[in-house]
Structure 1
Amino acid sequence: MTATMERPAQPPRTSVLPPVPKRPVPNPHVVAVWGIMIMLLGGGAWSLWELEVTPANVFGHFDNAARFIERAFPLNWPPLSELLAMTAETLGIVFLATGFSVFVSTPIAIMAAASTTSGRFSWTVSRLVIIFCRAVPDLVFAIILFRLFGLGALTGILAMGISSIGMIGKLYADAIEELDRGPSEAVEAAGGGRWQWILSTVIPQLIPQMIATGLHRYDINLRTSVILGYVGVPGIGYYLSGALETMQWQRGMALALWVLMLCIVVELISMGIRAAIMSPSSGDRSFLGLIKAADRSGWATHEPVRTRSGAVRVSPPWTGARWMRFGGIGILVVLLVASLIASNIRWEQIPRGVERFIPTISEFIPGTQGRFVDYWLPALIETVQMGLAATLLGLVLALPVGAMAARNVAPTPTVALCFRIFIVVNRAIPELILAIVLLVILGFGPVPGVLALAFGTTGLFSKLFADSIEETDVRVQNALRAGGATRIQVFFGSTLRQVAPAMVAHIMYQVDNNVRNSTLLGIVGAGGIGYWLMQTQAQLAYDVLSFLILSVLLIVIVLEAIAVYIRNVIR
């Protein structure tokens, strides 16, 4: 008899499927950022419609343009001696204003940087100072200082200098936070105090950034000086405003062309110096790189350097780099003395302004304004609309220009060079001059202001866009090309996606900038709250003026807060 063993029961078979991957949960902050950007772009489109920036209003005035050209040409140039004198005065005022802002911004930036601040209180106060100086336009500072010091160069120097602290202080503080902490920690470990390691390690590392930022701000202040000429700041802007206000178009356009050439020359010089100073490569072929190489060959050694008598030399020798530093300091001193002479500062205005400070401030205490809703609120809304509309229009125009200016996207290097030249010329034209010309052609209203701001926005966006494209990872683009993608597919599938975060930050910066600039363009009738600022200043209604200033300041602070939030999210 054989025993049979039963097979154990098998469990029922079930089909085992791989787990379904869960969709990633979107970051709520990223969603909020894109929501803000869609709202801003939608607000720009709505503003273009509300302000009637239509093709008919833009291109339907060719007859006015032809009549303006007939009245503006031939150009009526002032005598050469007068032209050189007003040019020297303008350049001197701008140099002193920029130097003042660099000098004052450095300690403010040290207190505003997290790595060098002395405490929470100093960090908060310095950051508030930077925000305040960035939010208040130069024109507003000039109006207030005009009440203190009267007409003259001192008002322009202080107005541009105080306003520049906002930009320079912020950039300096950001640069300090990105510096290498190793040298500072070494000095601290050796027993050095706070200001010892700041002066011996932070400032030397910051000097290239200080020079580059100062040169960039000099360009901006040169264009700003044209605007401040309308409130009595001497220089080319003052004579230009007088010629345009009296409809001397031939003289006005001659001075405007001279300002344009000055801005282009200064921009090209500044670009060259900034490129040499900020060159990251130690083996570069730039002038500064050769100087550094000469310095290393003669001094960077562990062996002691001895004099002819055999004594150990403790001071650095006069190598190329030391001569470069000494020569740079000498040039700055010469420029400072020349600027003080050319700007014709009336020093007696300083004690008089100090004496009048308290009475003047009391005049600016804002009061209750019953006409705010009827008169000034629509003007404030129009100012914001102008900024949004100009940003959208400039962005649309800058996308193709910036793409063609990027060397890794343009069809040929010649095309990229031509578009780069266009960007330089575009950025050199002051918005106020362009707005005045458009006002004559198109008439008063916000349309000329929007077009002038959009033109300037196109230049800045194009430069930032082109620089961002050239910094993209070309390996991703090459991979798409290897897969058979066309040039357009590579651009939209790789290049544009890589530069999108940077463009978001640039858009927020330009919205803030255009809102402030639209305030300035209102002084010549190009729409916005600037018209009421000038009217209240002319009527000595300083309580109303301060109320309007606070209203503009509130709008700019809100935009700044949104921009900071977006930068923190996309960083």
Structure 2
Amino acid sequence: MKTNYRSPQQFFRQRQLRLWVVLIILIAIYWLSMAIVSFQTIPSIVKVPAGLVWLFKNFVPTQRSISYLGPILYQLWRTLLVAVSSTICASFFGLIFAILGAKTTTPSPILRVVIRFGASLLRNIPVVAWSMILLFSFKQSDFTGFLALFFMTLGYLTRAFTETIEDLDGEKLQALQAVGANYFQCVFCGVLPEVASTLTSWVLYMIENNLRDATLVGILTGTGVGFLFDHYFKSFRYDAAGLIVLLIAILVILLELSSTQIRRAIA
């Protein structure tokens, strides 16, 4: 009987050949895309250093920027509240939908399909698109930004929570059912305690992510620190706009450090 034997050299040579083929295909797709949209790669790369020099020259906060600190901190606080409140609300509903939509805890296969489809739909609509859609109904307000972040976060967390619950060992649920536990006892005693740490990590991650998105949403809805950035930028007060960017970066870093400590505490 003839065996198909490949030496280690042949194996690595074939893998290297596949890698080169994939790389060539990706490069061809890139150049084809650039040709279609008439994007000039080399001239654009040459202009990058000059653009960075202009950026650091104009967007560095100055002595005058301190006079804008009060309004900036107030709007930054409002933006943080919108990001946190939308994430918390989306987490609550996302957990309910995830329990009903997970393969191990769903009461109905049809309900599972409906929830998964809805989560994918909400998640795949960008937050910018949500802002523009809701802007016509709710006008320029913090509530519009809240809803835009809420719908996108709801879809994202529902999917993440669902996969987390489905990764849970099903034998524990079967053991609870074997001793006579009902549906709610299985969920609250067998599922939630096991996945609480992972779910909390997802919530903290989305708070960080939504703070960044809330700035962009504010530009579109005319609220929060995003609107203030847009106002300063269009008024050629680049130093104040740079101060906003700096404060947002500091706040995101502080949130990330706090989230890391919380994850370690509940791990």
TM-score by length of 1: 0.43
Per-residue Cα deviation, 1:354-400 (whole angstroms, up to 9, x for no partner): 24543542222202322322x22221111001111111110122112
Go from structure 1 to structure 2 and tell me whether the alpha carbon gap of 1:352 and 1:482 turns closer, same or farther (over 3 Å shift): closer
Mapping for residues 424-439 of structure 1, pairs under 5 Å: 424-439=120-135
Structure 1: distance between partners of 2:54 and 2:24: 42
Aligned to 1:475, which of 147, 166, 171? 171
AA at the equivalent of 2:25: I
Per-residue Cα deviation, 1:144-190 (whole angstroms, up to 9, x for no partner): xxxxxxxxxxxxxxxxxxxxxxxxxxxxxxxxxxxxxxxxxxxxxxx
The percent identity for this pair of structures is 23
1:407 correspondence with 2:103? yes
Aligned to 1:365: 60
Q: CA deviation at 1:328?
A: 3.0
AA at the equivalent of 2:53: I
Q: CA deviation at 1:444?
A: 1.1
Structure 2: distance between partners of 1:322 and 1:412: 47
Per-residue Cα deviation, 1:280-302 (whole angstroms, up to 9, x for no partner): xxxxxxxxxxxxxxxxx8446xx
Q: CA deviation at 1:322?
A: 7.3
Preserved contact between residue 461 and residue 506 of structure 1 (Cα < 8 Å): yes
Structure 2: distance between partners of 1:491 and 1:356: 55
Q: How many pairs align?
A: 262
1:484 correspondence with 2:180? yes
Structure 1: distance between partners of 2:12 and 2:198: 44
Go from structure 1 to structure 2 and tell me whether the alpha carbon gap of 1:495 and 1:514 turns closer, same or farther (over 3 Å shift): same
Aligned to 1:383, which of 79, 84, 107? 79
Aligned to 2:246, which of 532, 536, 550? 550
Preserved contact between residue 403 and residue 466 of structure 1 (Cα < 8 Å): yes
Q: CA deviation at 1:314?
A: 4.6
Go from structure 1 to structure 2 and tell me whether the alpha carbon gap of 1:465 and 1:317 turns closer, same or farther (over 3 Å shift): closer
1:498 correspondence with 2:194? yes
Q: CA deviation at 1:548?
A: 0.9
Structure 1: distance between partners of 2:81 and 2:17: 53
Preserved contact between residue 449 and residue 526 of structure 1 (Cα < 8 Å): no
1:334 correspondence with 2:28? yes
Per-residue Cα deviation, 1:480-501 (whole angstroms, up to 9, x for no partner): 1111111111011111111100
Ranges in structure 1 where 5+ consecutive residues have no aligned partner = 1-296, 305-312
Structure 2: distance between partners of 1:349 and 1:330: 22
Preserved contact between residue 376 and residue 529 of structure 1 (Cα < 8 Å): yes
AA at the equivalent of 1:469: I
Q: CA deviation at 1:462?
A: 0.5
Per-residue Cα deviation, 1:1-55 (whole angstroms, up to 9, x for no partner): xxxxxxxxxxxxxxxxxxxxxxxxxxxxxxxxxxxxxxxxxxxxxxxxxxxxxxx
Cα root mean square deviation, aligned:
2.4
TM-score by length of 2: 0.88
1:534 correspondence with 2:230? yes
Which protein is bigger by CA-based radius of gyration?
1
Aligned to 1:348: 43
Go from structure 1 to structure 2 and tell me whether the alpha carbon gap of 1:557 and 1:416 turns closer, same or farther (over 3 Å shift): same
Mapping for residues 504-519 of structure 1, pairs under 5 Å: 504-519=200-215
Structure 1: distance between partners of 2:113 and 2:235: 50
Preserved contact between residue 448 and residue 526 of structure 1 (Cα < 8 Å): no
Q: Any idea what SS the aligned residue of 1:408 has?
A: coil
Ranges in structure 2 where 5+ consecutive residues have no aligned partner = none
Go from structure 1 to structure 2 and tell me whether the alpha carbon gap of 1:526 and 1:404 turns closer, same or farther (over 3 Å shift): farther
